[in-house]
A and B are shown apart, each in its own frame.
Chain A
Amino acid sequence: MNQSAPSAEMAAPLMPSPFRLVLTLGLIAMLSGFIIVLVHQVTAEPIARNHRRALEAAIFTVLPGAETRVSFALDGETLQRLDEADIENTELFAGFDGDGQLVGVALQAAARGYAGEIRVLYGFDPAAQAIIGFTVLQSSETPGLGDKIESDPAFLANFEQLEARLDPATGDIANPIVTVKEGEKENPWEIDGISGATVSSEAVGRALRVGTAEWVPRVMRNVEALRSAKTGEGPS
């Protein structure tokens, strides 16, 4: 069992040349690089597919009643229709029900939470000018506390109808979305926070506030193009 031990003992006193040391590390690093590239090549496609599938499932979660979707991306200030499969470049998903009626649009938003970035997807209904659905795409909030933003029924109930109305005079959001303390929600644009998960629930509010301020005006400007996207093929 110890046949290699003596040789290691003997090699110890005489120092190998620096070239030999560098060569060893270089070769091992090359081998390492080779293995990693190999694994990356094999797994890149399934990883991308997983992310696509997760996002796709999330779209229909935040747009209740939607059955089909159309992808859009921003081109200047107008929305440009994209290919269905081009999920990477999509900035906005429009969801349609069985009759071809626009249910709403799904948008991504992000903010810094207690432990790293929280990425969310929310559904916005242009007819009601309100958020109608919400799900967390990615977060690393504290298990049992901060991660309640993903599962707490009372918190998620906030997003069944959360006002994000435009002020016709200014063209901006009339009442920015804000997270308040648990049980203190009084207005339709306020999110009832989670006690014990203050930072995380405020981060969600911040993500939605920034996200809606940026996107709701654009959506409302392009709402006709969105509505007709299902019937007329790409009218923008």
Chain B
Amino acid sequence: MSIIEVKELTKKYKDNTAVDKISFSVEKGEIFGFLGPNGAGKTTTISVLTTLLKPTAGLALVNDFDVLKEKDKVRSSIGIIFQDPSLDDKLTARENLRFHAWLYKVPADKMAKRIDEMLKMVGLEDKQKKLIETYSGGMKRRLEIARGLLHYPQVLFLDEPTIGLDPQTRAHIWDYIMKLRQQENITMFMTTHYMDEAEYCDRIAIMDNGKIIALDTPKKLKKMVGGDVIILKTEDNEKAKQEIMEKFQTEVNAKNGELMITKENGEEFIPQLFKQLSVSVASISNRKPTLNDVFLKLTGKEIREEEASTRDKAKKQMKMRGGGH
């Protein structure tokens, strides 16, 4: 049974189509991810699904409710962890949760118990009476996760849940997310531009320029690359490229002074390569394909290329959140 159903969804701004006729469905209980560079339309899609933006065309159902016509029912069915921090920093952690519980009409007799339970899950019960302005970035994120789940939502939306956090904190946040998945039996819809995080998803939609260009399990997506990824540096890349193409009938990508080949069973291919190549090799590596390779294969560019701007943004957010752990 699908809990999110999207058909030909489009969101246009004046002269820019942020989301272009996308269709997909999310099954109950799965972790579904949107992967793509900044500006691909991930956040716009989440905003439409969470009723914050009106779609220009198309249909979107969340928990069987129409995001345009049954806003309040959609809103009651979902929890959201926004890309940017959204806590009131003049309130304490507990007050933030209580405010949320009131807004979502969590029954008064269950409220205190539920708040305790959520605070415990994210390990903040000792700090619940502290003002949010004293919290670190990671603590804020954890509290936001607790808050997103407080009202027993069917679907939890996570928009770049770990952006702007240091690697250690990111790993912690993922521990919490996986833990709550077991505890709460919930569907999760997330966006990310971190490859390693996309691996946590059951299925991934790869997005670029407002379109979904691939949708499958991470494993199957990586199979699309067509084998292992071999990267080598030689004395004469141009000549090496010619030779490899002629002798092995393989496609060769030249980039940043490196050659890239995809080949099944890379470790068996490398010895053959050495035997037949007349140009001497400076370095060589063989690795399993990543989702970035999938993206590269599909679009001809890397997600990472866009990361310079993302990093700036992340830095800005670190400041807003008050730094790392």
Chain B binds chain A: no
